[in-house]
Chain A
Amino acid sequence: MVAGPTVGVLALQGDFREHLAVLAELGAKGVPVRRESELDQVHGLIIPGGESTVMDKLSRAFGLAEPLKRRIGDGLPVYGTCAGLIFLADTVLDAIEGQQTLGGLDVAVRRNAFGNQLDSFETDLDVDGFDGPPVHAAFIRAPVVEEVGERATAIAALDDGRVVAVRQGNLMGTSFHPEITGELRFHRAFLDAVAAA
């Protein structure tokens, strides 16, 4: 029996199992979310890596998009990685025709900002507010935050200055995937936000 809040992981498509594994490792209760009834049970939500176009279509087809927007508007803590960051952004650049996002994060995010898979890479990053060694980050056909709006704050950037991690109140987004590199600090910070919400 795990005490404490329940954290949902959007499980329409993508690497949601990896996020659930990180939550389990941190002793948090994680549950997959595919339906509104499941969303109603959670105190925080992680949107995983995957294809943002697919998450968009499925969330609308199954009536999850509007409840998600409502919960985000009500202050639900949400953390998005890669496609999850895109899905949380107010504006998407290089979207496909008709692509929508949940919005909430006051940023403009460019999809596939580095190019195709040949340009996917791993590197080390310094993240504001994290103690210890640099974050080892995996960028996989990753987006970047091209514009950081007034309400959002950049917390990590590449050497060339491109922003790859942002926070805004209870919302957090990263271009990269802590869930596949054994990096726990983002999930810990997110769980702190969930506990405080």
Chain B
Amino acid sequence: MTDTTTTGVGTSRVKRGLAEMLKGGVIMDVVTADQAKIAEDAGAVAVMALERVPADIRSQGGVARMSDPDLIAGIVEAVSIPVMAKARIGHFVEAQVLQSLGVDYIDESEVLSPADYANHIDKWQFTVPFVCGATNLGEALRRITEGAAMIRSKGEAGTGDVSEATRHMRQIAGEIAALAAKKPDELYVAAKELQAPYELVAEVAAAGKLPVVLFTAGGVATPADAAMMMQLGADGVFVGSGIFKSGDPAKRAAAIVKATTFFDDPAVIAEASRGLGEAMVGINVADVPAPHRLAERGW
């Protein structure tokens, strides 16, 4: 796939390409410009602007929405690394606003309250690229069909419990492997079962991977959590509440960055894990009643 004719801004290549440049890195949730600076100084490849970290959304309840534009503009002003911001699922006007504010990526996120229970945003209509969550391959392919230029496994945000992130990464990797093992004449039914377009399904089967970058998210709280996600095949890691809900955010952030780069070196991960202070207080996903599980938002 070497298109050498398309020129201009907002092309699939530059949208997907920015995600390629973030690989091997850590994207950190921040709610203020000060936190964004701490994240940048600790080695974040990008920051995610939102009004409350998922752990607070979970504990405080209520409708969670796009952040105040002042806050996002302040974060864009404060750092030189890419700034992402969250819009509600299906809320295409929040996305228009975020694009107008000059963010580098929009996360159409289940962490916020969905604005449309039937449709996601038509992401092809935007110059800014989108990242979307997925719990399985079919969901990932439907988001890519809608124009997502990056996928993150959902995990269960705001828990500090990495088990759902593990499950979703294994699910997506397993389904890709199964698809790649299929005969060409089996891909038509595979497309039906994945509820995704045949052409995209055939592309994934041939390549043995998604056509976009796959990060992981939801419950990552320690350097070892991040390294495990990388060993499971993630291209990089989103850390939400895990950093700024911990005892020493700057130190923990830098440690998670190191463990993500040296994810296959236990000695480095051990060294990075020393003396980090308190990790975020977690919630076991099993204790979260099903209606309060964020990963089930989106379809």
Contact = CB atoms under 8 A, between A and B. Distances in A.
Given A50-B24, A51-B81, A181-B2, A34 B14 contact: no
B9 interface: yes
Given A96-B80, A180-B13, A116 B18 contact: no
B104 A50 contact: no
A182 B24 contact: no
Interface string B189-209: 000000000000000000000
A124 interface: yes
B18 A117 contact: yes
A180 B17 contact: yes
A116 B80 CA distance: 9
Contacts of A15: 20-21, 23
A49 B7 contact: no
B23 A120 contact: no
Contacts of A14: 21, 23-25
B128 interface: yes
A116 B102 CA distance: 7
Interface residues of B, number: 44
A79 interface: no
Interface stretch (A54-62, A147-155, A161-169, A188-196): A54-62
Contact of B102 (A18, A94, A118, A177): A118
Please indicate which of the listed interface residues B14, B25, B79, B262 has the most CB atoms of chain A within 10 Å of its own CB. B14
Given A34-B261, A138-B17, 20 more contacts: A13-B45, A13-B261, A14-B25, A15-B20, A16-B23, A50-B24, A50-B25, A53-B43, A62-B258, A94-B80, A96-B40, A115-B102, A117-B82, A118-B102, A119-B9, A121-B11, A122-B14, A123-B8, A138-B14, A182-B4
Interface of B: 2, 4-11, 13-14, 17-18, 20-25, 40-41, 43-46, 76, 79-83, 99, 102-105, 127-129, 254, 257-258, 261-262
